[in-house]
Chain A
Amino acid sequence: MTAETKFHHGDPLSDVKPIIEMRNIEKHFGRVIALAGVSFDVKPGECHCLLGDNGAGKSTFIKTMSGVHKPTAGEIYFEGKPLHFEDPRDAIAAGIATVHQHLAMIPMMSVSRNFFMGNEPTRKVAGLSFLDKKKADAITMEEMRKMGINLRGPDQAVGTLSGGERQTVAIARAVHFGAKILILDEPTSALGVRQTSNVLATIDRVRKQGVGVVFISHNVRHALAVGDRFTVLNRGKTLGTAKRGEISSEELQDLMAGGQELAQLEGSLGGTV
């Protein structure tokens, strides 16, 4: 068992089968080779960080995982079976939820209306189907309390929440609607220190519920705070996967930058990046 930190409590089971396994994924856009053989898997209850600098292929890779792109070559196994997603809806139906950086929250709508957007609970009154607002409100308050967000009421608009809280609502929503794999695309990149710590705490909480989290970031410190495994992408290839405790932040940083330039740069910056 690795050391507990503020954002990491307990290890995932090591001998479980991965929920999704992607082998030697390649993706070509015309003459551009965006992915040149990426292997990646996610187990239940772990946070697998996908690190890489801008242009490394992170976005292309998660879009392949969430069904937006079809891979040019390579295999995807979902719960042991080979799988081909035709479009993002297939991936969502299978339990792969993506929380985008500019997320699927509508600021002018209430938290409760946002939470159930597209999945509204209904009840029948005299043969007509009405929104079950009471149920929606109760579930929203409950889920928000679990995530450590105190709402004034379910009618509070999402626009009044901070960026970190909005991320948390989006994550809570994905988990509530049965996500097995949660892909978080740079969830902390636009956030302040305190909001970042809220999101990292949320990731830890979700992970412990048995959801496999894919955490995409180029911030090594955020990744190390919460991740169980770390895969580094560089120029469309995986440079390897390391377990928690096996790799230091300097080594990760080095891999991401793809070599020596950063070492020199780091020297001149005095270890600030």
Chain B
Amino acid sequence: MSNAAQPTAKTDERIKDISAFRKALIRPELGGIVGTIAVFTFFLLFAFDSGMFNSQGVMNWSTVSAQFMIIAVGACLLMIAGEFDLSVGSMIGFAGMMIAIFSVTYGWPVWLAIIITFVLCTAIGALNGWIVVRTGLPSFIVTLAFLFILRGFTIFLPQVIERKTIIGGIIDVSEGDWLAPVFGGKIFGGLFTWLADAGMIATFERGTKAGQPVVDGIPMLIVWAIILIIFGHVLLTKTKFGNWIFAAGGDAEAARNSGVPVNRVKILMFMFTAFCATVFAVCQVMEFGSAGADRGLLKEFEAIIAVVIGGALLTGGYGSVLGAALGALIFGVVQQGLFFAGVESSLFRVFLGVILLGAVILNTYIRRMITGER
């Protein structure tokens, strides 16, 4: 019982020192950061004069990116928790249609229609999650079923009720409603008027709006995107629940052994994904003033692509909300930028495929460095 106080501060010769720079670089978002820089460099070089970087252009691609961001945050957290939701696109169509039916057809106040739709859609998300954790089936299959079920109802209900597949007139009924502007309104209008008066941004030169700024405020869609990104990032990295999300996706069995309520975490993440899809739907309906049966088509894949570009692992347990947001930004900028640059729009897919592949290869390499996978 002699050598009690052994020297403990010896260093392992097989752990290499890592420079602060390298350490700052090796993070899950690196793929997204590199992609963002690459995309912006590309468009600054090739589309600078096209109007892409004036106030109107910026607002254009920001809005499109924000749409992707809203659904990407939900998809990101769910993917880190180890599950997929393929019903996001159908959920967007379904939620929009429900609001239109409740408010226009049934004549309910718009705020009530919005709240009921949120409750209904998150409940469907919970049902998705409940079926997945109860049956142990892959979420891929369960949510694929809901992709068809929800889309089917979205086409069926308006045809039965209104004999058409697009319900309009939402702008009229939402006049004076207190909740509608939270999704369809714009903020900082005064700031933009001031900027226009100061000559910093362009104004309309003729027509009824002459003298008004071409960009008259920040759409609530962008505000929602920012709120959801901050919420998702803080939840994932700064809370106990975030640790459970990583654990549930990393190894559900190991997490259960340590007392993590894995099923609850997964169901809540399905609900959050449905919530994000509904936010998207409400913003879209308020913007267009109508709900269509084909809204949100293929959005689930766009969300998943943004998340994967952002560095999340498809099989769960690894990823970053900020990365997913950057992935969504890349997606939006490329989609709109190619239009500004005058590139044939079919090439968008080629460009997207190349970025997806490049980002995923880089992300895999980084992830292996961090986690020691082989």
A-side residues, CB < 8 A to B, are 4, 9-10, 89, 92, 100, 103-109, 113, 116-120, 122, 129-131, 133, 145-146, 148, 150, 152, 157, 159-161
Contacts and interface: CB of A to CB of B under 8 A. Distances in A.
A113 B242 CA distance: 10
A113 B240 contact: no
Contacts of B9: 145
B343 interface: no
B104 to A, nearest CB: 39
Contacts of A89: 259
Given A150-B11, A152-B18, A159 B372 contact: yes
Dominant secondary structure at the B interface? loop
A109 B250 contact: yes
B317 A106 contact: yes
Contacts of B242: 131
B297 interface: no
B254 A105 contact: yes
Contact of A152 (B15, B254, B255): B15
A180 B23 CA distance: 39
Contacts, number: 88
Given A106-B317, A146-B8, A131 B239 contact: yes
Contacts of A117: 243, 247, 254-255, 258, 260
Interface string B1-39: 100001011111001001000000000000000000000
A145 B239 CA distance: 26
Given A106-B250, A122-B240, A145 B8 contact: yes
Contacts of B254: 103-106, 117
A67 B364 CA distance: 41
A118 B239 contact: no
Contacts of A161: 372
A104 B238 contact: no
B240 A108 contact: no
A120 B250 contact: no
Interface residues of B, number: 33
Contacts of A157: 370-372
In the complex, the 6 A-B pairs of residues with the closest C-beta atoms, listed nearest first:
A160-B372, A106-B250, A118-B259, A159-B372, A118-B258, A120-B240
A129 B240 contact: yes
B205 interface: no
A195 B8 CA distance: 17
Contacts of A119: 258-259
Interface string B332-354: 00000000000000000000000
Given A109-B250, A146-B8, A120 B372 contact: no
Given A109-B246, A117-B260, A160 B371 contact: yes
B1 A130 contact: no
A104 B251 CA distance: 8
Contacts of A122: 239-240
A119 B242 CA distance: 13
Nearest to B317: A108
A104 B259 CA distance: 11
Given A108-B317, A118-B259, 15 more contacts: A4-B1, A89-B259, A92-B259, A104-B258, A107-B250, A108-B367, A108-B373, A109-B246, A113-B247, A129-B239, A130-B238, A131-B243, A145-B9, A150-B11, A157-B370
B251 A113 contact: no
Given A113-B243, A131-B239, A150-B15, A106 B257 contact: no
6 contacts: A108-B317, A108-B367, A117-B260, A131-B242, A159-B371, A160-B371
A107 B15 CA distance: 17
Nearest to A150: B12
Interface string B99-119: 000000000000000000000
